[in-house]
């Protein structure tokens, strides 16, 4: 048990990391590398589960685009995240992967993947290195709240509840998406109880619910609508959209999900449009329709005349109504801007990531909570969001490094000043 009043530079400082995802594990590594005694507490039976889940798609770990463009993907959170991402950017992340025996490559879209295209080898090598550096991994340890001092935590373990007095705490508990791998948002009440402002958790990078007819789903569930362009509020994203029993999924859907979600919250619904032939103009499509043979059905015109796939042609009828326009210009315009009204997103436990979390104003430049000296935060539990494409993992790693470095700087300042920085929690028992 450390003596929190002893800030001597000769004493080995002790850290508790709560959360065994990318942000927590990289924070543990940074602290262990400078001699801290580190324990990682995670309530699951093993750590790194969300990293393994991300690896099912090849583990898109970051993006190769210029740093200023990468930072733009963090939207309104960019000013708060920028220093952290610049200090530990995509180049640093790729070098770190290579150091674990997993060199990376840049895909055709600019996304970056490990050469093995898997998360398991990377995680296995990482955990071995953490163990060699002296990091303790404590599983089935659930964070309950804070103890009597500002940098102590209360944890439920298989052997009962414990209070851990440490020199610094790094919270990296994730958001509220995919609770089965550990990110369940169960930390929110503890932070609210400590006076920290936490924005409500909302789904991000998620599918959208569309009430398909049974006939349509029966024929087309699981089928991708290839190379279409989706547009919401003037923002267009191109790619493949997959028809599901509940609605639509896929890269363009995830990229626009935040805008759709915000539109639903503001007005009850949001309308996106499908451009089923993004490489052709309305005039070109209208000309093709006009050259159809007399007596051809609308379905035949859509498939043979415009080259739409069976699922794309069926989508025109599903969203455009049974009585489609017959004049070439109107039908062409519908194919280029097929409206789809969405009244709900997938629930948060089915989202790739979540928005909401600890308000940005609650953390200082070192990622320490202003209300809780000695407690640092990282990863998705902070109120930022980004699209898929490597941006989520990049910021999770970068903020984990920033939080660890913030703890190191905070401790060194205490040691230099002789200030033990002990704060009592009046009336709190965790």
**Burial class of residue 142 in the structure, from the number of CB atoms within 10 Å of its CB (0-12 exposed, 13-18 middle, 19+ buried):** middle
Alpha-carbon distance of 365 to 268, in angstroms, equals: 37
pLDDT, tens digit, 9 for 90 and up, residues 284-311: 999 999 998 887 888 899 999 999 999 9
| Residue 305: C-alpha distances to residues 6, 132, 328, 330, 349 (Å) | 80, 64, 11, 15, 42
Closest Cα partner for 169 from 411, 396, 413? 411
Alpha-carbon distance of 164 to 15, in angstroms, equals: 10
Strand partners, 171: 18, 377
pLDDT, tens digit, 9 for 90 and up, residues 15-30: 999 999 999 999 999 9
Alpha-carbon distance of 109 to 60, in angstroms, equals: 11
Alpha-carbon distance of 226 to 9, in angstroms, equals: 61
pLDDT of residue 22: 96
Please report, for the chain, the start and end positions of each structural domain, with discontinuous segments joined by +. Answer: 14-203+354-417, 208-345
Strand partners, 242: 224, 249
Whole-prediction pTM: 0.90
Residues of the chain falling short of pLDDT 50:
1-7, 421-430
pLDDT of residue 9: 54
pLDDT of residue 420: 52
pLDDT of residue 293: 84
Domain at 14-203+354-417, CATH homologous superfamily: FAD/NAD(P)-binding domain (3.50.50.60)
pLDDT of residue 424: 40
pLDDT of residue 322: 77
Q: Please name the fold of domain 208-345.
A: Elongation Factor Tu (Ef-tu); domain 3 (2.40.30)
pLDDT of residue 426: 33
Name the 3-class secondary structure at 337. Answer: coil
Residue 297 falls in which region: left (phi positive, over 0), alpha (psi -120 to 50) or beta: beta
Phi, psi for 246 (deg, rounded to 5): -95, -20
């Amino acid at each position: 048990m450390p003596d929190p009043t002893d800030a001597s530079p000769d004493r080995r400082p002790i850290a508790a990391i709560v959360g065994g995802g990318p942000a927590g594990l990289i924070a543990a590594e940074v602290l262990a590398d400078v001699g801290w005694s580190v324990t990682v507490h995670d309530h699951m039976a093993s750590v790194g589960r969300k990293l393994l889940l991300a690896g099912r798609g090849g583990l898109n770990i970051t993006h190769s685009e210029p740093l200023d463009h990468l930072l733009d993907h963090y939207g309104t959170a960019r000013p708060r995240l920028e220093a952290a991402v610049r200090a530990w950017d995509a180049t640093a992340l790729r070098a770190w992967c290579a150091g674990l025996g997993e060199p990376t490559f840049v895909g055709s879209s600019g996304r970056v993947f490990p050469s093995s295209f898997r998360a398991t080898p990377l995680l296995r090598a990482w955990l071995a290195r953490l163990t060699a550096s002296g990091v303790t991994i404590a599983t089935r340890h659930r964070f309950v709240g804070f103890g009597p001092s500002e940098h102590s935590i209360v944890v439920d373990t298989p052997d009962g509840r414990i209070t851990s007095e440490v020199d610094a705490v790094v919270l990296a508990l994730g958001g509220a998406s995919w609770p089965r791998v550990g990110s369940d948002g169960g930390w929110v009440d503890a932070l609210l109880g400590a006076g920290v402002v936490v924005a409500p958790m909302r789904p991000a990078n998620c599918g959208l619910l569309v009430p398909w007819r049974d006939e349509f789903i029966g024929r087309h569930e699981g089928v991708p609508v290839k190379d279409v362009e989706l547009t919401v509020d003037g923002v267009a994203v191109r790619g493949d959209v997959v028809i599901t029993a509940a609605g639509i999924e896929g890269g363009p859907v995830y990229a626009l999900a935040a805008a759709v979600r915000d539109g639903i919250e503001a007005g009850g619904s949001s309308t996106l449009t499908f451009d089923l032939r993004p490489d052709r103009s309305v005039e070109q499509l209208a000309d093709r329709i006009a050259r159809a043979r007399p007596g051809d059905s609308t379905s035949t015109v859509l498939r043979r005349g415009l080259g739409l796939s069976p699922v794309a042609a069926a989508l025109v009828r599903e969203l455009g109504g049974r009585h489609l326009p017959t004049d070439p210009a109107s039908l062409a315009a519908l194919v280029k801007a097929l409206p789809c009204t969405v009244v709900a997103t997938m629930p948060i436990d089915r989202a790739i990531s979540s928005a909401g979390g600890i308000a940005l104003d609650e953390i200082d430049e070192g990622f320490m909570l202003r209300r809780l000296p000695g407690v640092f935060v990282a990863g998705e539990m902070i109120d930022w969001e980004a699209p898929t494409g490597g941006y989520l993992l990049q910021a999770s790693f970068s903020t984990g490094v920033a939080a660890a470095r913030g703890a190191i700087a905070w401790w060194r300042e205490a040691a230099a000043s002789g200030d033990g920085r002990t704060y009592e929690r009046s009336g709190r028992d965790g």
